[in-house]
Structure 1
């Protein structure tokens, strides 16, 4: 039954929303359409326009969004949009509807991505498919969520793990934390204030301030400077990657993701080819006498741009299987 089910799935990003049709767990990539968020007042008119254009009559619908979701209702962090199941049901005519946090959708997807959408940063023995996984996102923001598989259902508990305290371990990092607090947050900064797109900008600005210069560049220009070998950009990237490795290692000890760790997000995609040389693995395994224990965890970088849509489709497929 689920594999014959037609679903509409949507991934709300900061600038664009992508909508597609899915058959069971398979997203029809030819059906993907992009809608500029600034031209619409919410997800409901986007879905109505998409279904009118395609003529589809979906039986199920799922939307993922960047923001907290509770009891089927979510509010986006960077858009004044409210997403709720009742409105989705009305907009799509679907009987089965669901709203997910965007990282929940990524977590559901990781067990269904092909080799083309993944690259392995740290290899480890293959474990049973029921073992927990961990998804870590670094892009516009920072978050991480464990992924559990139980009786055919993928469970991704919500979290706001990007706002934990910065794990300072050196005098340099203490100066960085205090500088960000003074110049940007005006309060105790959380780790997201360093590990995100804007966080990368702050770390670079601090590297410049350490040399007595005031420089503010967007992340895209810092990435370009890093690729050109500019010393301060390389230093900023190394700080960010080592903090990311330490953070990911801490979470691995908390969740024991023997099914693998999956790094996702725009900043990850830019830094992915350089994570090893910038010290990710060393920082990830730097756990004292538990360093050998860390060798059990594989780490992968997700490059599949449609992973969140796949997660929405898989989530609906699992819901229908459970109810069948």
Structure 2
């Protein structure tokens, strides 16, 4: 029995990555990147890719989209594309198609990522077969619980980036009131995404400098550059960020009980990884009063595989075919 040749794609707001997969194994040398601005929709991207690879059709096609997927249709959040199964079939000739949210694809990749791409952040046991949690912190913030069942893996959708930010002390309360009204995107509510995503880091720095009496508006890249240079206010911003991230990861751990581990993805999270240990991520994660010892039952990792979503798409197709 031959392994089916599948096409997988990871569609971001700026670029689309496309690759071929033999079952669950993505062909690393087949990965190509395309600028979305050069195409009116996904269909011509996939058509060009197959033409460049000199392949007429594939058995299956699965894409991960940075946007909500409802009834098998993806609407991109930061791109004027709508993606459905008919497009995938026309572009690839695939008999089997699937469209996943990008965070769901990351959830399906767990268990198929090489160990060298998993950086331990918080030590703890990992229970085989237990629930896991993927947490994305980049342009936005969200999390998806991952459950292995007798009927296959289930990666549930959520919008937990829009729940209220954690408030642990007086500083957090002042921050909450500041976020509610600061900047052109203020909407009277301080959500988790408003403090932990890329724009959230910018809001935290504005708050820290406001508290210091030297209000300053910087972009996320500028803040990270200042942090690398040892700027005191940038370090204070980073320490606040890490504490709030740890607090919220702890909240999510108690909600979902991911004894198989929590897995951080996203550009903002990865940029902060070098500072997390010294700035107290573990302590903030376990800051749950009488449940502090219970929090030692969870391990946290940073996923450093840029192609994990492609792997997740390949695993999803293969598992769906076997079901």
Distance 2:104 2:279 in 1: 28
Q: CA deviation at 1:314?
A: 0.5
Matched residue, 1:279: 280
Matched residue, 1:49: 48
Distance 2:286 2:197 in 1: 22
Secondary structure of the corresponding residue to residue 77 of structure 1: coil
Does residue 136 (structure 1) correspond to residue 135 (structure 2)? The answer is: yes
Bigger mean CA deviation after superposition, 49-58 or 138-147: 49-58
Gaps of 5+ in 2: none
Change (3 A) 1:124 1:152: farther
Secondary structure of the corresponding residue to residue 103 of structure 1: helix
Q: CA deviation at 1:152?
A: 6.3
* Mapped contact 2:126–2:298 kept (Cα < 8 A): no
Matched residue, 2:318: 317
Distance 2:152 2:277 in 1: 34
Secondary structure of the corresponding residue to residue 135 of structure 2: strand
* Mapped contact 2:13–2:76 kept (Cα < 8 A): no
Matched residue, 1:90: 90
Distance 1:197 1:267 in 2: 6
Q: CA deviation at 1:273?
A: 2.1
Q: CA deviation at 1:220?
A: 1.0
Distance 2:182 2:209 in 1: 13
* Mapped contact 2:132–2:258 kept (Cα < 8 A): yes
Distance 1:259 1:239 in 2: 27
Distance 2:263 2:11 in 1: 21
Aligned positions of 1:185-200 closer than 5 A? 185-200=186-201
Matched residue, 1:226: 227
Alignment deviations for residues 162-201 of structure 1 (CA, whole Å, 9 cap, x no partner) = 0001111222111112112212214112110111111101
Q: CA deviation at 1:212?
A: 2.3
Q: CA deviation at 1:292?
A: 0.7
* Mapped contact 1:108–1:154 kept (Cα < 8 A): yes
Distance 2:294 2:170 in 1: 28
Matched residue, 1:118: 118
* Mapped contact 1:40–1:46 kept (Cα < 8 A): yes
Matched residue, 2:3: 4
Matched residue, 1:250: 251
Bigger mean CA deviation after superposition, 108-117 or 206-215: 206-215
Secondary structure of the corresponding residue to residue 97 of structure 1: strand
Does residue 240 (structure 1) correspond to residue 248 (structure 2)? The answer is: no
Aligned positions of 1:56-75 closer than 5 A? 56=55, 57-75=57-75
Alignment deviations for residues 4-60 of structure 1 (CA, whole Å, 9 cap, x no partner) = 011111101121110001111111111111100111112111011111111222100
Distance 1:101 1:159 in 2: 11
Distance 2:213 2:223 in 1: 18
Q: CA deviation at 1:123?
A: 2.1
Supply the RMSD in Å over aligned alpha carbons. 1.2
Distance 1:103 1:62 in 2: 14
Matched residue, 2:145: 146
Q: CA deviation at 1:214?
A: 3.1
Q: CA deviation at 1:227?
A: 1.5
After superposing on structure 2, the runs of 4+ consecutive aligned residues of structure 1 that deviate more than 6 Å are none
TM-score (norm 2): 0.96
